[in-house]
Amino acid sequence: MSLENKVAIITGASRGIGFAVAKRFVMDGAKVVLADVDDEAGQAAADDLKSLGDIMYIHCNVAERLDVRNMVAETLNAYGDIDILVNNAGIVVGADFLELEEDDFDRVLSINLKGAFLCSQAVARHMVEKVEGGGEPGTIINMSSVNSVIAIPNQIPYCVSKGGMSQLTKTTALALAKYGIRVNAIGPGSIMTEMLASVNSDPAARNRILSRTPMLRIGEPSEIAGVAAFLASSDASYVTGQTIMADGGRMPLNYTVEVPADQ
């Protein structure tokens, strides 16, 4: 799948899935903007990928409208266009429902969901203007989760934000369809990011994950990047409003599977 000369913005791109998507896109020929709030990690990520192609880092707190506007303006100033947006920025706050702080609830929703809205709206305005001027439509990819459907009781704001992300994907897909702009989401299952590394080092915790993963392994960030590359490409030209669950079979599962002792 070729993304030759396409311009992509990826939020939350300094590590994990966002970094893997950035790497895949630049390897597929795209010009990539890594956006993040962690300037040190973001610039280091961009430096790591510079040998592969055209890539730059831009600071952006996706929950702040002015930051989002500046990110879009800087991207257009550098590359003159935006073809792809990946809304990947997100955080998790774990707490019992009765102890969950309002500020933590608001913070998760502001980054995970409001941030995706702000970025999508700002980028879509450029994409619509381009289409009305005779240019090609772009595409927006939202990073959702299996937790948009299934719930974890001590991750309430995260689950709520991802449920909202699925509806944001559908509604914006319908709103932008007349312009040919596609909006889709990816719902990762358990993926080997820094967030999951500590769990993976605990055999009991790892087995709990594998027991509800029919493929009996934890996914890699590069596997989510592959789905993103498909959705960003012309191969997905008739796909919009969908959430693709890349979860090792977890969503269809209505039982737990036995994990061999040597797994």
Q: What is the pLDDT of residue 185?
A: 99
Q: What is the pLDDT of residue 208?
A: 87
Q: What is the pLDDT of residue 256?
A: 72
- Look up residue 190 and give its two tokens: 């358990």
> Does residue 260 fall inside a structural domain?
no
Q: Which of 79, 158, 179, 238 is catalytic?
A: 158
Distance of CA 98 to the CA centre of its chain: 29
> Does residue 172 fall inside a structural domain?
yes
- Estimate the crossing angle of helix 39-49 against helix 16-27, to 10 degrees: 30
Q: What is the pLDDT of residue 141?
A: 99
Q: What is the pLDDT of residue 77?
A: 99
Into how many domains does the chain fold?
1
CATH number at residue 141: 3.40.50.720
> Does residue 127 fall inside a structural domain?
yes
pLDDT tens-digit profile, the chain (263 residues): 689 999 999 999 999 999 999 999 999 999 999 999 999 999 999 999 999 999 999 999 999 999 999 999 999 999 999 999 999 999 999 999 999 999 999 999 999 999 999 999 999 999 999 999 999 999 999 999 999 999 999 999 999 999 999 999 999 999 999 999 999 999 999 999 887 777 777 888 888 889 899 999 999 999 999 999 999 999 999 999 999 999 999 999 877 767 777 66
Confidence (pTM): 0.95
Which residues contact residue 102 at a Cβ distance below 8 angstroms, ignoring those fewer than 6 apart? none
| DSSP for residue 136 | -
* Cα(61)–Cα(67) distance, integer angstroms: 6
Q: What is the pLDDT of residue 92?
A: 93
Q: How far is CA 73 from CA 54, 60, 90, 154, 178, in A?
A: 18, 12, 22, 38, 25
* Residue 142 bridge partners (DSSP): 87, 185
158 a catalytic residue: yes
> Does residue 253 fall inside a structural domain?
no
> Does residue 1 fall inside a structural domain?
no
Q: What is the CA radius of gyration of the chain?
A: 18
Which residues span the domain enclosing 59? 7-193+220-246
* Cα(6)–Cα(250) distance, integer angstroms: 33
Q: Which residue type sits at 32?
A: V
Q: What is the pLDDT of residue 199?
A: 75
Q: How far is CA 67 from CA 35, 121, 174, in A?
A: 10, 13, 26
* Cα(131)–Cα(127) distance, integer angstroms: 6
- Evaluated on CA atoms 113, 116, 120, 122, the torsion sign reads positive
* Cα(181)–Cα(67) distance, integer angstroms: 23
> Does residue 251 fall inside a structural domain?
no
> Does residue 115 fall inside a structural domain?
yes
